Amino acid sequence: MKLTSYQQNLLSDTERLTAFYRIINEKVMGGVVYDLGTGSGVLSSWTAPLARTVYAVEKNPITAKIAQKNLNSFKNVSLIQGDAKTISFPEKADTIICEMMDTALIDEEQVPVLNSVRKYLKPQGDIIPCGVFNGVEALDIDIPYPCYQEEETSNLRVMSKLLIYDKINFKKHIAPEIDYRISLTLNTTGTVSGVKITTFTLLAPDFICGPTPMFNPPLLVPTNQIKGERGDEIILKLKYTMGGGLDTLKAAVETIS
């Protein structure tokens, strides 16, 4: 059974894979590991030699068959085909690996899955990644709908500095509904017509992995248009549901009177 083109692209993202390989080797020191959303099983294959038991969970039945084939040689890996949110695990985890990641955690199930499974983590256990920082910049850009910036965009003009608006710790319960009013100061004169959301992933508390082509590429989001001068402060009204999909994303800008 062949990998899909998406899975092949994931496995070709060497920056992402190198970062996970390093942290898995630093953090997994025996015990029980959950690999939630194992995909083709590559993270489980790196974890198995370091752990007592690995529970590799994959929701998609076709992908689960690929993972099972790839992990057959590891006698301490149990492949579970199903939704991680509904699984009753037979023993608690020393480490949870969950890479159901997406920019701002909007379009993947990282948050609802961890909110469901966190109860199985031992008190001193680790989660890989352990959190994210989300940042936003004002833009002048002409796009009709949200899209990922997978390469340089020539018609994009940055109108403000990057502002970190959210810090999320995966070991704590996460409220999925985001409804923020964010103040941005323009560093140039012109028209604001969108924003760029950038997610920086904490694979460990002291290890940040920036966006890669297949790991949280920046998200470009159109807004209404307002004109501003350098030094003006504007308000970004940003709403979305983490795990709810891009259809939940709403962004609008307004001047401060």
194's tokens: 């969108």
Laid out side by side, the sheet with 250-255 consists of 177-185, 233-241, 250-255
Which of these, 218, 222, 217, lies nearest to 143 by C-alpha position?
222
| CA dist., res. 19 & res. 100, Å (int) | 16
Instruction: Find where tokens 């948050």 sit.
Output: 111
Which residue of the set 99, 151, 177, 233 is catalytic? 99
What are the C-alpha distances in Å from 256 to residues 119, 140, 208, 227, 234? 44, 18, 34, 12, 6
d(CA 5, CA 9): 6
Closest CA to 136 of 232, 205, 201, 220: 220
* CA separation for the pair 219, 225 (Å, rounded): 18
Contact between 228 and 257 (Cβ < 8 Å) = no
Catalytic residue among 108, 109, 137, 150: 108
Length of the chain: 257
Among this protein's residues, is 254 annotated catalytic?
A: no
99 is a catalytic site residue: yes
Q: Which residues are tagged catalytic?
A: 99, 108
